[in-house]
Amino acid sequence: MKEEYPIKNLEDISVPEIEIPSHRRKLRAVLLGSFYKERRNWGVFSLLWKTVPVASLAIILAVIGINNFSVQNYNFARAAEIASKDPQVKSLIERGGIIKDTKIVGSKAYLLVQTPRETKKQSEERIGMLSAPSKNAALPREPEAILAEVDFKDSKVLKIEDANSEVVPLSDDEKERARSIANKSSETKEVIPKEAQIQDIKPVYTQLKLIRKGNLVTVAPESGKENKALIIYKKNGNKWESTINMEEERVENIDFFEETEK
Amino acid sequence: MTLNEEKELIERAKKDPDAFGVLYDLNYSKIFNYILKRVANIEIAQDITSETFLKALKNLWKFRWKNVSFSAWLYRIASHEIANFFRSKKVTVSLEFSAEPVSSDNPLSDILEAQEELKKQTDFLIVHKKILQLPVKYQEVVTLRFFEKKQIKEIAEILGKREGTIKSLLHRGVERLKAIMPPTGQ
């Protein structure tokens, strides 16, 4: 029994069970008398109760959003800084390349660096700046795109890949359709000599973008498959490039590039 | 009254003072006597009971049925009020029956009668004096378990704590009580 002490004593003890009717009645009257006054306050408190958490949540989400935006911008800037130290990326940027797209995956960043397509005018201006132009210098430079994989931990570029190969090539049918549009065009007949041979038919270089699927980042054309084709004609070292608008079925532009001897 | 009936009554009490009156009638006695067992003073018990029900009315709109009965919610409010009272008064000695003049708002006979009745509970008053020496967290579990005959689960609901915590508090409370309340005849 000793072990049960003091539990048994506590359980068995007689406790007061008292009633004070006057207090009971008076308190009841006070409570019911103030019921409607209190009830009016409930509406205000209830509204605050519902609004305050929503407002607080909105503020928290806004702060998180701003914070994430800042962190993301910081990561983008850091990735660009690391990538720009790589000689290949540096060289492409010096040739007019821009960072088109960046994706962050864990501790890595993927940067797409792309040069715009050189216009004939730009090509000619470049030739004018060269002291000893090479044989093919007058031809417009093929646009370039690279995909750089940056590691944040070691602050270095892990891998550089050629991104141009990612452009969707034209099918044989599409090439045939482009050829047919060009052949029907009076402009082609007027500008390009009959003897000029078609050297290549390829999609017009387009703007690229990065697509992230899980941890995999891939390069894709910005507007899906090309709707323009480029037909390259050659004759005696001269070159013509005819841009075919496949949707409108017309020749959009023909550029002529004269070969320059050393 | 079934839980569903009580739930329905609470919803009505949010709109209808008569329904609130029914809830009051069902719980007044339980709450008053719980407070009395905690403070062992009629006047203080009356004041804390009044404060408990006024708080309940003010906060009734907040009451949501989450497996905690209305009476458990009232016990919880009462426990907070008692803790506030002890904190503000820094009570370290027994609050057993006092012969101070009674509240002028209540008929004297009621109060005197209640005081006399409390005075008769000598065993309780002796044990209560000892319980008051414990920290408040032990006082409430010991009172609820042994004087209010509440189950561990109910105490957990009232105090908003886990059952394991209540068991532990109860065990330690009883151990402390054993130390300050040696068995008679030893």
A40 touches chain B (CB under 8 A): no
Mean pLDDT for A237-252 is 86
Average pLDDT over residues A27-34: 91
- pLDDT score at A141: 60
Are B21 and A36 a contacting pair at CB < 8 A? no
Q: How many CB atoms lie within 10 A of CB B52?
A: 26
Mean pLDDT of B14-21: 91
Residue B20: per-residue pLDDT: 93
Question: What ipTM score was computed for the predicted complex, to two decimals?
Answer: 0.86
Q: Which of A33-37, A52-56, A94-98, B34-38 has the highest mean pLDDT?
A: B34-38
**Interface with chain A: mutation pick from B20, B60, B61, highest number of A CBs within 10 Å:** B61
Q: Which residues of A touch B54 (CB under 8 A)?
A: 30-31, 34
User: Measured between beta carbons, which residues in chain B are less than 8 angstroms from residue A1?
Assistant: none
Mean pLDDT to the nearest integer, A213-224: 77
* CA-wise closest residue to B145 among B176, B174, B183: B174
CATH 1.10.1740.10 fits B3-180, yes or no: yes
User: Chain A within 8 Å of B151 (Cβ-Cβ)?
Assistant: no
Give the nearest chain A residue to B61 (CA atoms): A42
The more confident residue out of A123 and B39 is B39
Q: Which range in A27-36, A63-72, A141-150 is most confidently predicted, on average pLDDT?
A: A27-36
Task: Give the per-residue SS3 of chain A.
Answer: CHHHCCHHHHHHCCCCCCCCHHHHHHHHHHHHHCHHHHHHHHHHHHHHHHHHHHHHHHHHHHHHHHHHHHHHHHHHHHHHHHHHCCHHHHHHHHCCCEEEEEEEECCEEEEEEECCCCCHHHHHHHHHHCCCCCCCCCCCCCCCEEEEEEECCCCEEEEEEECHHHCCCCCHHHHHHHHHHHHHCHHHHHHCCCCCEEEEEEECCCCEEEEEECCEEEEEECCCCCCEEEEEEEECCEEEEEEEECCCCEEEEEEEECCCCC
A6-20, B35-49, B144-158: least confidently modelled range? A6-20
CB A140 within 8 A of CB A163: no
Query: Does residue A42 register a pLDDT over 80?
Result: no
- Residue A131: pLDDT over 70: no
Q: Which residue has the higher pLDDT, A99 or A132?
A: A99
Burial of B156 (0-12, 13-18, 19+ CB in 10 A): buried
Select the highest-mean-pLDDT range: A160-164, A193-197, A235-239, B98-102. Answer: A193-197
- Whether B58 sits inside 8 A of A16 (CB atoms) is no
Phi/psi for A185 (5° steps) reads -75, 130
Chain B residues 76-115 within an 8 A CB cutoff of chain A: 105-107, 110-111, 114
What average pLDDT does range A3-13 have in this prediction? 77
Say whether pLDDT at A35 is over 70.
yes
- A42 vs B contacts (CB less than 8 Å): 14, 60-61
Confidence of residue B77 (pLDDT cuts 50, 70, 90): very high
**pTM here?**
0.53
Most confident of A2-11, A86-95, A217-226, B19-28: B19-28
Please tell me whether residue B167 adopts helix, strand or coil conformation.
Answer: helix
Residue of higher predicted confidence among B20 and A90: B20
| pLDDT tens-digit readout, B56-71 | 999 888 887 776 789 9
pLDDT of residue B92: 41
Q: Which of B4, B86, B69 is nearest to B31 (CA)?
A: B69
Of residues B22, B113, B81, the one with CA closest to residue A22: B113
User: Contact A18/B114, CB-based, under 8 Å?
Assistant: yes
Single-letter amino acid, residue A215: N
CB proximity list for B163: less than 8 A, separation 6 or greater: B152, B153, B156
Mean pLDDT, residues B6-30 taken together: 92
Looking at residue B105, what is its pLDDT? 53
* pLDDT (average), residues A207-229: 77
Predicted local distance difference test score (pLDDT) of residue B93 = 39
Contact A34 B57 (CB under 8 A): yes
Which of A1, A2, A10 to mutate to probe the B interface, most B CBs <10 Å?
A10
Distance CA A197, CA B158 (A): 93
A27 Cβ under 8 Å from any chain B Cβ: yes
Cα–Cα distances in Å, from A147 out to A10, B51, B98, B116, B183? 80, 72, 88, 93, 85
Compute the nearest-CA separation of B106 from chain A (Å).
6
Q: Which token pair is B97? A: 């029956």
Confidence of residue B99 (pLDDT cuts 50, 70, 90): very low
Answer for the pair A181, A246: CB distance below 8 angstroms, yes or no: yes
Cα A107 from Cα A120, distance rounded (Å)? 42
Contacts of B49 in chain A (CB under 8 A): 23, 27
- Which tokens is A136 given? 């093919």
Q: By percentage, how much of chain A surpasses pLDDT 70?
A: 81
Query: What are the residue ranges spanned by the domains of chain A?
Result: 26-68, 85-257
Give the HSE-up count for residue B16: Cα atoms under 13 Å, Cβ half-sphere. Answer: 9
B125 contacts chain A (CB < 8 A): no
pLDDT given for residue A166 in this prediction: 55
CA distance A221 to A227: 11
Residue B87, min C-alpha distance to chain A (Å): 24
Do B17 and A38 make contact, defined as CB atoms within 8 angstroms? no
Q: Name the least confident of A115-119, B14-18, B96-100.
A: B96-100
Q: Which residue type occupies A109?
A: A
What is the 3-class SS of B70-137, one letter each residue?
A: HHHHHHHHHHHHHHHHHHHHCCCCCCCCCCCCCCCCCCHHHHHHHHHHHHHCHHHHHHHHHHCCCCHH
Residue B173 has pLDDT above 90, yes or no: yes
Residue B139 pLDDT grade (very low, low, confident, very high; cuts 50, 70, 90): very high
Range ranked top by mean pLDDT from A52-56, A205-209, B113-117, B178-182: B113-117
Q: Residue A140: pLDDT band by 50, 70, 90 thresholds?
A: low
For residues A124-149, average pLDDT: 64
Q: Name the least confident of A10-14, A142-146, B59-63, B157-161.
A: A142-146
**CB-nearest partner of A15 from B15, B110, B121:** B121
Average pLDDT of chain B to the nearest whole number: 86
CB within 8 Å of A54: residues ≥ 6 apart: none
Q: Which of B75, B90, B78, B100 is nearest to B151 (CA)?
A: B75
Which are the contacts of A235, defined by CB distance < 8 A and separation ≥ 6?
A: A193, A195, A196, A197
Q: What is the mean pLDDT of residues A73-101?
A: 84
pLDDT at A122: 63
CA dihedral B86, B92, B98, B102 (to 10 degrees): -20
Chain A residues within 8 A of B111 when measuring between CB atoms: 20
A27 contacts B28? CB cut-off 8 A? yes
Is some CB atom of chain B closer than 8 A to the CB atom of A46?
yes
Whether chain A has a CB inside 8 Å of the CB on B20: the answer is yes
Partner residue facing B24 (CB), from A13, A31, A46: A31
What string of DSSP letters covers B23-88? HHHHHHHHHHHHHHHHH--HHHHHHHHHHHHHHHHHTGGG---SS--HHHHHHHHHHHHHHHHHHH
Judge: B58–A24 Cβ closer than 8 Å, yes or no.
Answer: no
Cα(A151)–Cα(A82) distance, integer angstroms: 9
Q: How far apart are CA B159 and CA B166, in angstroms?
A: 9
Quick check: A160 pLDDT over 70?
yes
Q: Does the pLDDT at position B98 exceed 60?
A: no
Amino acid identity of residue B79, one-letter, is S
> What pLDDT does B38 receive?
97
Q: B65 in contact with A at a CB cutoff of 8 Å?
A: no
Q: Is A49 on the interface with B (CB under 8 A)?
A: yes
Whole-number mean pLDDT of chain A?
80
A41: nearest CA partner in chain B: B58
Angle at A175 between CA A172 and CA A178, to 5 degrees: 150
